[in-house]
Structure 1
Amino acid sequence: MITGGQSYVSAPPAFSADGRLLLVCSGRSVSVFSTSTGMLVSELEGHEGDVTAVVVVPPPASVAKLATYCWTAGLDGALIYWDFAAAELVRKVHVGLPVHSMVIPNITRTVKSTEVHTPLAFVSVEDTSKAADNKKALRGQVRIYDLTKGRQVGCLLAKTRKPEKIVASVSGEFLGIANKRQLYIWSVPTEGFKPEKIRKIKLSHTKNLTTLAFHPSERIVAGGDSTGRILVWRAFGKAKFSGTAGAADDDRDGVRGQDDADTCTTLHWHSSEVKFLKFASDGAYLFSGGMEGVIVVWHLDSGKRRYKPRLGSPLMFFVDSPDSSISCVSCTSNQVHLLKMPNMEVLKTISGIKLPIASPDLSRRDVCEFDCTNGLVAIPTEDYCIQFYSLFENTEVSEVQVCERNFQPVDDITMSISLVSLSIGGDFMCTVDVKLPEEELGGLITLKFWNHGSRAGQFHLSTIIYEPHSDAGISAVAFRPGKNMAVSSSFGGNFKVWVQSSSLQSSEGKSQSGWRCQSVGSYKKKPMTAAAFSGDGSVLAVAAESVITLWDPDNNALVGVIAEALSPITKLSFIGTSTYLMSLSQSSKPQVAVWNASNLSMQWSYTLSAEAACCSSSKSEFAVLSLLSCPGGTPAEQDGVILLFDAENSSPVSSFSVKKAKGGSIAFVKDDSSMDADTNATRGEEASLLVYVNGSHEYVIFDPRNNEVSQISKHTQKNIQADEPARIGYASIYGELPKLEPKKEVSDIPFIPSERPWETIFTGSSHVLPPLTKLCSAFLASLLEKRPVSNE
């Protein structure tokens, strides 16, 4: 069994001590990426629930090497200690409750007159013993765990309605959470730690606080609220933590009530909830981000700000590296951007599978399209792109921009990609985008044909057809196997057959290929709701509401009509190379039916509420994703079952229970070439796997004919690459120079590598090289050995 599609932005990532690796929480594992290449290096697998926190910690005193150790926490109630360089699990501590957040400050404890570093974890857990439907129940708790002894120490620090995110200062002296309209801040003794010495204060606000950050060197804390405002408290805890007198009430500008702080100032730019706050390492600047997709950099002394715009989606987390030359920002589009500081240039992007599009129109489902031959899934995204994602390698292959769009968080949805269709083999793609009318005026439906490029997932626009069926919507598009032909069916009562032609003339008078309409068909002016070609392409089946019509696609002649289904058909598909046809009805009278196209009769049917269905391309079998009733659950959490059928038998061959079936998709895909030889032999050359993509775009690939799912090797499918050596000199600053090949017709003296390369490293055109004053200082700095900054 192969799993993938996990979210990379469910929790904040963490950098290694040298900044060369980035540890990202991804489902039940932690994915380790190289910051120089953006490629997956290794995975840490050991949790039985989703990982919610990862903290890189110094190595044990007995280990004399760079810090490659971390602690992770998960919803399975486990805290695990890893050597992430070797991807080895060292030890495990059981908490017993789901852990939603964790910090591990640098604390020393006196043992027999000797100061010893004690790893103490402050965790935010969920008390599952209290009913979730009780809105007044305090299900969130902040606890302390001794990671050496594996037990809880001290009493509960706080109880909240839900588990809150814990934030620690750089020194580990202060911890805090945002709870409703207050910040809870604890002072933790980092030397001679005792739980009873912990002190707490509260800072109040008029709006719900969503996040906070501590200044790296001064007693300053910033909090962001749900309306986009940022509050900065200075000299907090002077009375409670330090025991000194605070400022007089007349001098406590902006401080509410008896809050223990000298001043409180407000910064405002964001139009909605502030998602993250982070102080720069020198404390002079404050970074903030939210729904606007813009990083705002605040200068604390002057109040001036600058921006990093056009990140394309709302922001969630911002994490800086000990290297200080690189940071990362996590976006809701399931992307992590690696930023070169301080100009915040995007160096690399770690892209996961895009999340489902949030649409108020529940009748419009976000359905994926599959390239079964190449093992790819095509997913429409919010920025009007089609993302091609490799199912076996669990990585993004490419993105195709269907319509242009500049991201604006307050924009109303004016367009949508309503349909994506791929030909067998992935040579052609067809998309349908719909521009919604404004006040019932200005709507537009566009049909676009795309030709495959030089690599997988790459497509070039070939033909644009505006209003292909007048003003009626398009219900389905299907490609004919073996020929450059496609058919589009319309709710307006007709279908059109499109063929690729090379006789079209461009504006420059050159001949170019494009798609044109060859013929038009209809049946009693009924809406055409689905279409499909047979395996050999000789028969075209089109659903006229509840009636299935069979056509000869070459001369557009009606050759047969099959009896009616119970309700309008939403999906048609031929089962393998057989004469059986599967139909799906998803109205108030749901039905899954198998028809025999040779004698124009129904083979068998089920009254079944199906979310999706797919047919094998080589065998007479198909699979149906059916929804199960889920009392009290949300539609997104609705469970389901996958049923595998043989066309000639109405009894399911096998069944599989799945989660989040609402909005899910299924498809048969071919075995990847990297599968073990023995495994391929047992399944046969024509065997295929079944992929299930749930409503959150997480997926699983398995063999539906074999219960021993362990036969599919997960690790052989991962696109894991070794980390490349660190760059030094010129390459570490400006990257590798392009390799220039001399023209063959020019006779030049061949270049002989010099034994003294430093004499030619700065050779180049004056307009290309940066100024010498900047280049030399940066070059010399790059040759210095970088070491992690000690917090002691």
Structure 2
Amino acid sequence: MINGGKSFVSTPPAFSNDGKRLLVCSGNTVSVFSTSTSMQITELDGHKALVTSVVVVPSSSKLLCHCWTSSLDGTIRYWDFALSELMKTVNIRLPIFSMVIPKFPSQQDDGGGKPTDVFAYISVEDASDPGEKTKHLLGKIRKCNLTTSKLAAAVILKETARPEFITCSPSGEFFGIIIKRSLYIWKVQADESERALVKKMKLHHTKNFTTFAFHPNDNIIATGDVSGRICVWRGFGIRTFFKGNDQANANLMKIEDERAGVRGDNDVEACSTWHWHSSEVKFLAFSTDGANLYSGGNEGVLVQWQLDTGKRKFLPRIGSPLLYFVHSPDPTLSAMSCADNQIHFLKMPSFEILKPIAGIKLPCSFPEIWNGLSSGFTFDHSAGLIALPTDDYRIQFYSLLDDTEISEVQVCERNHQPSDDIMVVVSLVALSHDGSLMSTVESRLAEDGVGALVCLKIWASETQKKDFKLSTIVYEPHRDAAISAIVFHPRKRMVVSSSYGGDFKIWVQSNTTLGGVDGSSGWVCHSVGSYKGKSMTAATFSADGSILAVAAETVITLWDPDRNYLVDVVGETYMPIVNLNFVGKSEYIVSTSQGSRPELSLWCLSKRSRTWSYSLVVEAVACMEDDPLFAVLAVVSESYVPTESNGSSISSGDGIILLFNINSPVPVGTWLVRKAKGGGLAFLQVSQLSPLKKNHPFGRSSALLAYVDRDHEYVVFDPLGQQQLELNLDHKKAVENFEEAAQSGYASIYGELPDFDPKETRQSTITVSERPWETIFNGPSHTLPPLTKLCSTFLESLLEKRMAATG
């Protein structure tokens, strides 16, 4: 079983002490990437739930490659990430949502004395106290002794309605959390102990806080709020933490008016406000020298503020909302996490974007007005790829087997804009059987009833890198009607588009050559079809391409695609059909309907009748290419009451994968899955994936089943295997090793020779098998002994040996 598609941007990443590696929380693991190549080096696997934070032990403690991680599984783990080795586990038994470790021992105790304790401050969810449930205070900020592996029983710093994210200062002297319009700050004592008193102060604001950051050197805090404003609070905690004894903090900034810009009783010397962001501020980060402040938000623009003057510098057109910004020990390198599941490395101070860490793109955030116009994603079955539309009007090709991005195709040139201003979406994407052709549909929303536009584009690629080039653009291919489906002919250069306007069109390529696709050739409309003026809601080709099936609302129409005439009409459903699929090379077709009476039906074309049907809300259907099997992703309905199954609850939005054979309505296999609403299914052809078939335990199967949930996390498994095999290897490394170890010469003809071991050879010559006839004829013909020797040995093995009687 292969798992992938994890989010790289759920929490801030962390640099190693030498700046050559970046540690990223990715699902239940921590992925370690090289900052020079952006490739994954190793993985820290051990947590049983989502990893929520990673803290690298600073180099001052003489531990160059050690880190602490926390997780929702209630454990804190200590790692040597250079060796991918787990060194210690601290079990808190409470889900940990955030963790900071302000101070580390400056050096190890080499004299055999008692080591200095290391303390972590964690944000946990504790529902064990029934009284707290009534107060709705489930979140707690607690102190944990990592050296003794236990919580400080008497220390609960703060109780909150839900667990909050903790931010620590670079110096380790302060940490804090935000709760709506309040900012809580704690000061860590220099001689920290388990019962040491941690002082606290509070700042108030007129708007809800969204993020904040500590200055690396001075008592300055920068905060961002929901309106896009940034407040810089100077000289905080003079009365609370320093009691007026620290005169240096009182002179951080010369001001004419005492407590300029400060409202209420906030314990700060001065406050200044900056405003550039149009919506909430996502992150704030001071530069390592404290001279500049970096901010980012939904605009996809990195802003650099000069702290003394407020002057700005911009890095625009990043293409996605910004989430986090972290500095490297190398002052020329920083990392920036984006909402599209990418981490960009920045060369500082020039703001040059280097090669990013590109994960699978997260689902597009469409406004409600676009609901029903987007079909999600599609698959390249022969190459094991998924093609996903992205928020920046691109198509991402992602390898499900290697868990890495292959390429991106820019469908239309559009600058990134906030989600509430989306006027154009890539509503459909389809790939040909061999993956060399792609078709996309762009839909533009009308403004005041004017400007609505549907655009059909056809792309061609001549390489496996999926570097598609635009071949044809068709504006309004079905007048002003939206396109419901696009499907390619399995053998010819032909594509069909169906529309809700009541027709479908067959497009063919002009100037097609035997050697492939001419880059200058275009596509033209070959013919148009319709059926009684009904909306054409789905379409599909048979395995050999001889039949085109088009759903005309509640009936299935069958067409000859070459001559475009109606062959037959099959069946009728209660609700409009939204999906059609031929089952392999058989005469059966699967249809799904949605609405008030959802339905899954199997039709036999030779009998022109329905074989069987189920009342299911079906999200996706996948059919095997060579076998009469198909898989269905069914979603749990909203009215379904959650039940317990094998100790896990099933809630609305989850679902089940059903594997059917056309000969029986009883499923061959079933699998419970999470986040099925908005998910997808596909069979990947192992016969086309020669490296996988040779080196992979799935090579015995004709196809693998890939399930992608609504968050684009996925699993690839063998649906016909007797057991689920867990692969504990790096798939990217496996492919690289296969390419590096390509066979040649003798090995390419006769195979690899066995490893020679003299001890084993001597032992094998001494040991005689009791059943020699099972092995004497095995082996290549050029290595077998002469036939005369084989025959005598074989005959002797069949004879029963007796001891001769002696007189």
2:476 to 444, 463, 467: 467
2:323 pairs, out of 316, 320, 323, with 316
Q: TM-score, normalised by structure 1?
A: 0.85
Secondary structure of the residue aligned to 1:608 is coil
CA-CA distance at 1:615 after TM superposition: 1.0
Write the letter of the residue equivalent to 2:66.
Y
1:144 aligned residue: 143
TM-superposition CA deviations, 1:84-141 (whole Å, max 9, x none): 1111111111111111111112245999997954321111111234799979511211
Match of 2:497 in 1: 488
1:8-50 CA-partner distances (Å, limit 9, x unpaired): 1000000000100001111111111110011111111111001
Displacement of 1:340: 0.6
Aligned AA (1:594): L
Rate the CA distance shift 1:101–1:19 in 2: closer, same or farther, 3 A.
same
Q: Pick the aligned partner of 1:602 from 602, 606, 610.
A: 610
Q: Which moved more, 1:357-366 or 1:475-484?
A: 357-366
One-letter amino acid of the counterpart of residue 2, structure 2? I
Q: SS of the counterpart of 1:195?
A: coil
For residues 108 and 331 of structure 1, do their structure 2 counterparts lie closer, same or farther at Cα, with a shift above 3 Å needed? Answer: same
C-alpha deviation, 1:707, in angstroms: 4.6
Question: Which deviates further from its counterpart, 72-81 or 494-503?
Answer: 494-503
State the shift of 1:416 in Å: 1.3
Q: Return the alpha-carbon distance in structure 1 between the equivalents of residues 205 and 199 of structure 2.
A: 21
1:691-702 counterparts in 2 under 5 A? 691-702=706-717
Q: Which runs of 5+ in 2 are unaligned?
A: 643-649, 737-807
Cα shift at 1:408: 2.2
Answer whether contact 2:636 2:651 (CA < 8 A) is retained: no
Alignment CA distance shift 1:366-1:67 (3 Å): farther
Are residue 188 (structure 1) and residue 197 (structure 2) matched? no
The reply to whether residue 344 of structure 1 matches residue 351 of structure 2 is yes
Match of 2:81 in 1: 84
Q: 1:348 and 1:456 mapped to 2: Cα distance?
A: 17
Aligned counterpart for 1:378 among listed residues 380, 384, 387:
387
TM value normalised by structure 2: 0.84
Amino acid paired to 2:121: F
Instruction: Name 1:94's counterpart in structure 2.
Output: 91
Q: How does 1:654-733 map to 2 (within 5 A)?
A: 654-671=669-686, 672-675=689-692, 677=694, 683-684=700-701, 687-710=702-725, 713-719=727-733
Give per-residue Cα distances to partners, 1:332-390, cap 9 Å, x unaligned. 11111000111221012111111111221433455210001000001111111111111
1: distance between equivalents of 2:93 and 2:112?
Answer: 34
Deviation string 1:485-504 (CA, Å, 9 cap, x unpaired) is 11111212221111111189
Q: Percent identity?
A: 51
C-alpha contact 2:10 2:25 (8 A) present in aligned 1: yes
Partner amino acid, structure 1, of 2:437: F
Measured in 2, the distance between the counterparts of 1:619 and 1:69 equals 51
Check conservation: 1:172, 1:190, Cα contact below 8 A. Answer: no
Paired residues of 2:691 and 2:735 also in contact (CA < 8 A): no
| C-alpha separation in 1, matches of 2:709 and 2:488 | 26
Q: Which stretch has the larger CA shift, 242-251 or 280-289? A: 242-251
Letter in 2 for 1:315: L
Q: Given the alignment, which residue of 427, 439, 442 partners 1:418? A: 427
Q: Which residue pairs with 1:170 in the alignment?
A: 170
Instruction: Give the partner amino acid of 1:427.
Output: S
Task: Name the counterpart of 2:654.
Answer: 639
1:587 is the counterpart of 2:595? yes
Matched residue, 1:774: none
Partner-residue secondary structure (3-state), 2:196? helix
Answer yes or no: is 1:649 the counterpart of 2:658.
no
Does the 8 Å contact 1:109/1:192 carry over to 2? Answer: no
The one-letter amino acid of 1:462's match is S
Distance 1:254 1:464 in 2: 57
The 1:142/1:41 distance shift into structure 2, 3 A limit, reads same
Which segment drifts farther, 191-200 or 89-98? 191-200
8 A Cα contact 2:142 2:157, kept in partner: yes
8 Å CA contact 2:17–2:59 kept in 1: the answer is: no
Alignment-derived partner of residue 365 in structure 2: 358
Aligned CA distance change for structure 1 residues 681 and 318 (closer, same or farther; 3 Å): closer
Q: CA 1:620/1:60 → structure 2, altered by over 3 Å: closer, same or farther?
A: farther
Which of residues 307, 328, 337 is equivalent to 1:330?
337
Number of the residue aligned with 2:230:
230
- Matched residues in 2 for 1:271 and 1:105: separation? 33
**Does the CA-based 8 Å contact 1:59-1:69 persist in structure 2?**
no
| Matched residue, 1:545 | 553
C-alpha contact (below 8 Å) 2:698/2:718 kept by paired residues: no
Q: Which has the larger radius of gyration?
A: 2
8 Å CA contact 1:340, 1:347 repeated in 2: yes
Shift of 1:566: 2.3
Larger helix proportion, structure 1 or 2? 2
Aligned to 1:286: 293
Deviation at 1:525, TM superposition (A): 1.8
Match of 2:210 in 1: 210
Gaps of 5+ in 1: 505-509, 723-792
Choose which of 632, 636, 644 in structure 2 pairs with 1:628. Answer: 636
> Is 1:43 aligned to residue 43 of structure 2?
yes
Aligned match for 1:516, one of 518, 524, 527: 524
- Deviation string 1:559-598 (CA, Å, 9 cap, x unpaired) is 2111212221111111001111111111222111111112
Deviations 1:611-659 (A, max 9, x none): 11111111111111111135699x9961101111111211111111011
Aligned: 1:614 with 2:631: no
**In the alignment, residue 234 of structure 1 is paired with which amino acid?**
R
Question: Which of residues 519, 526, 530 in structure 1 aligns to 2:534?
Answer: 526
Mapped contact 1:357–1:366 kept (Cα < 8 A): no
Higher relative contact order (CA 8 A, sep 6+): 1
* Structure 2 SS opposite 1:718: helix
